[in-house]
Amino acid sequence: MAELLDPSHQATLWVVRLDRGALSETERKQLRQWLCENAENRIALQRARAIWQLFDNLAAEISEGREIVCTEMEALINAEI
């Protein structure tokens, strides 16, 4: 991971990599190392995963034809973070 990225950006990149499927052994080692660097990285990954899950859930609701209004989305975001 690029050292210039802040933890939230790095966490987002990790969530995308995790979502695409199994990590390689090298990627698993890199993720473990990054998570062990400091608590801020671990918190950033937890937040990024929660947001990713929120949007996965939202996409599923939309595909089921449920209408989503902005106030519902704001409530979901505030509840997750």
Domain ranges of the chain: 7-80
pTM of the model: 0.74
**CB 46 within 8 Å of CB 7:** no
* C-alpha–C-alpha distance, residues 6 and 10, integer Å: 6
Q: What pLDDT is attached to residue 56? A: 86
Per-residue confidence (pLDDT) for residue 61, from 0 to 100: 80
Terminal C-alpha separation, the chain: 24
Q: Tell me what pLDDT residue 40 has.
A: 97
- Using CA atoms, how far apart are residues 34 and 23, in angstroms rounded to an integer? 14
Sign of CA dihedral 63, 64, 69, 73: negative
DSSP-derived secondary structure letter, 24: P
- Average pLDDT for runs of 10 along the chain of length 81: 79 96 96 97 95 86 74 64 52
Task: Count the residues in the chain.
Answer: 81
